[in-house]
């Protein structure tokens, strides 16, 4: 079974992934980490990115300097669109291959796919279920100030560029309220998994 995990910034998707991996022994795939892999030197995406944005985005090891690249694309919508057109298909292809390999190995009965843009990038088309990780706005702001040192203004700017709660709920099958502590999230996940065991 393939379960997609998504939610807005600061909702605690990483915490839920940790629970699923450590407590429930699921195989996890993180789209952001795959994004790093497909941009490494020698990959097809790497070649396309360098030819599109030039050698100035490379560090001394000739790897892509992600901060330098981000500085170029995030102030220019057209350049960001070009980057996404290279990276997103490569990430999706890598994830599909990884899912196939894990499925054929037979070592894991549940695969978790986490992506901030899960819905926008049409990942639900190969997920059996999609779970929305929710946390109330004030808790998200508190977490992001503490963990990333963001200002409230920056946090709200990021939130405005993500899907609304209504859009998440419309496109997801289940909701996990991750506004509270680790144990509360664990209990909700346990109940969701009991459906598979008892056929509910």
Provide the residue-wise pLDDT of the chain in tens; the chain has 200 residues.
999 999 999 999 988 999 999 988 999 999 999 999 999 999 999 999 999 999 999 999 999 999 899 888 877 889 989 999 999 999 999 999 999 999 999 888 899 999 988 999 899 888 999 999 999 999 999 999 999 998 999 899 889 889 999 999 999 999 999 998 888 989 999 998 887 654 44
Stated as kind and residue range, the H or E segment containing 97 is helix 77-105
| Residues 182, 187, 192, 195, Cα dihedral to 10° | 160
Q: Tokens for 29?
A: 């795939």
**Single pTM value for the model:** 0.86
Q: What pLDDT, on a 0 to 100 scale, did the predictor assign at position 197?
A: 59
CA distance 136 to 157: 16
Q: What pLDDT, on a 0 to 100 scale, did the predictor assign at position 199?
A: 45
Dihedral sign (CA 7, 44, 73, 63) = positive
Q: What pLDDT, on a 0 to 100 scale, did the predictor assign at position 8?
A: 92
């Amino acid at each position: 079974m393939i379960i997609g995990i998504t939610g807005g910034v600061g909702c605690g998707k990483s915490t839920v992934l940790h629970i699923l991996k450590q407590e429930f022994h699921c195989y996890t795939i993180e789209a952001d980490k795959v994004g790093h892999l497909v941009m490494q030197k020698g990959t097809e995406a790497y070649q396309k990115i360098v030819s599109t944005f030039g050698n100035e985005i490379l560090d001394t090891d000739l790897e892509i300097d992600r901060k330098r690249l981000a500085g170029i694309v995030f102030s220019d919508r057209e350049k960001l669109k070009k980057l996404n057109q290279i990276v997103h298909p490569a990430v999706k292809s890598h994830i599909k291959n990884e899912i196939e390999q894990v499925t054929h190995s037979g070592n894991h009965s549940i695969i978790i796919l986490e992506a901030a843009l899960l819905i926008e990038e049409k990942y639900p088309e190969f997920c059996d279920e999609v779970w929305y990780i929710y946390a109330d706005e004030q808790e998200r702001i508190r977490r992001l100030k503490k963990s990333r040192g963001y200002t409230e203004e920056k946090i709200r700017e990021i939130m405005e560029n993500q899907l609304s709660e209504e859009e998440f709920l419309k496109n997801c099958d289940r909701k996990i309220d991750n506004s509270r502590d680790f144990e509360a999230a664990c209990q909700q996940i346990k109940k969701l998994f009991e459906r598979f065991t008892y056929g509910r």
